Amino acid sequence: MKKLLVILLFTISSAVTAQVAETTFKNIEVTKKHNVLLLSINVPPRNTVSKAVLAEINTAINLAESDENIGAVVITGTNKVFSAGAGGESLKGVDKGEMTHAAIAHKVYNRIESFPKPVIAAISGISAGGGNELAMSCDIRIAGESAQFRQHELQAGLIPGFGGMQRLPRLVGQSRAMEIMLTGRYVGAVEALSIGLVTTVVPDSEVVLKAVSLAQQLNDNLDRKALAQFKKRMALSSSETFKEALINDQLAFDELATSPDIHAAIATFIEKQKNGK
């Protein structure tokens, strides 16, 4: 039976690896590292989150969602740039019925925010504009020592239109977010850590390794059903009143607590605690 299970898991893993290889990605690199799908934006020199990049990120997220062997996603850029912005594509007109650049970004970023598996941003170098708004839609942000964050849209005659005006205040507070967006200044990695924009700062050479390691740890330790409910509630609660959020959280808890799988989940947790995990 164990041999059959190993063969089955290997077959599933190989099938997904083949699916990644068969899918054409021109703007991002997609690789599977154990139970983690690593998405690397690679459109030098700025790694802008163009419509094409957003479409490919969404396709990669589809792969992660359809594969039960993938437990988490890491999004990164290149050594010197995570993503320097949206580029000039937002300024172009669209045909009737066609989604604008900002609308596409909202759809993809909202999906990342509520995605039932953890999504971690591994940030080296510049994270600015629409690229920084991508990072803020992720669950956890790990920064390299060279990382610099910026929302410079007001200086360019625009506003942070890919979700930054809502997500940045929730991460760092209203007053600090206003100052960052009004000045358009760069926020270094150490300051970003101190204000809550990122959770960890590591040497640049360790950013992706740290993110993948954490993603694998989350895959190993989190209950998938509870995780999906948790991420759903965290995303939805931002648009609810405090009272509504408390009630809906309680209802979600009750749903999990009375599910047929709960006793097995608790038993698994207890066993892991015994083994020091």
Catalytic residue among 77, 87, 130, 131: 130
The DSSP line for 189-258 is HHHHHHHTS-SEEE-GGGHHHHHHHHHHHHHHHS-HHHHHHHHHHHHHHTTS-HHHHHHHHHHHHHHHHT
Q: Is 130 a catalytic residue?
A: yes
Q: How far apart are CA 171 and CA 165, in angstroms?
A: 11
Catalytic residue among 86, 102, 121, 177: 86
Q: Is 173 a catalytic residue?
A: no
Matching residue, tokens 């605690």: 273
Q: Is 244 a catalytic residue?
A: no
Catalytic residue among 77, 153, 163, 211: 153
Catalytic residue among 56, 89, 113, 133: 133
- With 0-12 / 13-18 / 19 or more C-beta atoms within 10 angstroms meaning exposed / middle / buried, residue 263 is exposed
Q: Is 64 a catalytic residue?
A: no
Rg, C-alpha atoms of the chain: 20
Would you say 91 and 137 are in contact if contact means Cβ atoms under 8 Å apart? no
Matching residue, tokens 């020592």: 145
> Which residues are annotated as catalytic?
86, 130, 133, 153
